[in-house]
Structure 1
Amino acid sequence: MDGEQHYHDVLAELRPEHRALRQMIPEVYQGFNAISEASLADGALSRKVKELIAMTIGIVQGCDGCIASHAKGAARAGATQEEAAEAIGVSIMMHGGPATIYGARAFSAFTEFAGKTAAT
């Protein structure tokens, strides 16, 4: 977990793996991309809120790739550190101790993508 760009590296590491699999099953990836875009589009809930929800699901699932992807999405959608922290707090309430580990990772990812440093 060392390094300033760890979560950028997580996404970069996964990119060729996704590309190889996407070449084998392009229809599945097209369907997944379509549902992702439809699910994350602004509606009654904003894209920002939906990205925060997805990030917290990544926390509960212990998925660093999901955390990185949706922390980046939340930061791009304009989420603040306070909003990310509160969303992470809900995942801790729902999932307990494991969420404190992946929640801390998610907060680091969010602050990395938001271009800020986490308070120590």
Structure 2
Amino acid sequence: MSDYFDRAADKTFTRVYKNETPDILAAFAAFDQAVFATEGREIPLKYRELIALAVGITTQCVYCIDGHSQNAVRAGATEAELAEAAWVATAIRAGGGYAHGRLAFKLAGDARAEHQH
């Protein structure tokens, strides 16, 4: 995905949303602004941005990684905090593989039962 990433040019495609679904775009923008409001939230902005960065790393969204890493730094995050957020994301992805491996063992039981008959 990152091969297709162009920070400046990619934003021009927002025009499709503006032209085709302006109501949904406006609702999304308002929602996003509420989530990342500077004031009025229990979790400080720096931590919300670090959470968003970790989620972006987990989902491998280069746009989220770009925006939220910069926003986290602007909100006061250090390189050590960025690194820890990246490790949190890595642990969650690895944990997902571990847990889904257990699911594979469970679901494979159906084939074992068929094979034994």
Give the TM bin, normalised by the shorter chain.
0.5 to 0.7
Residue matched to 1:68 = 66
2:26 aligned to which of 14, 23, 30: 30
Q: Distance in 2 between matches of 1:69 and 1:19?
A: 19
TM-score, normalized by length of structure 2? 0.68
1:24 corresponds to which letter in structure 2? E
| Greater relative CO, 1 or 2 (CA 8 Å, sep 6+) | 1
For the aligned residue pairs, the C-alpha RMSD in angstroms reads 2.0
Identity of aligned residues (%): 33
TM-score, normalized by length of structure 1? 0.66
Give the aligned length. 90
Q: Distance in 2 between matches of 1:19 and 1:51?
A: 26
CA offsets per residue over residues 46-85 of structure 1, 9 Å max, x none? 1111111111111111111111111121122121111111
Structure 1 unmatched runs, 5+: 1-8, 97-120
Greater Rg over alpha carbons, structure: 2
Structure 2 unmatched runs, 5+: 95-117
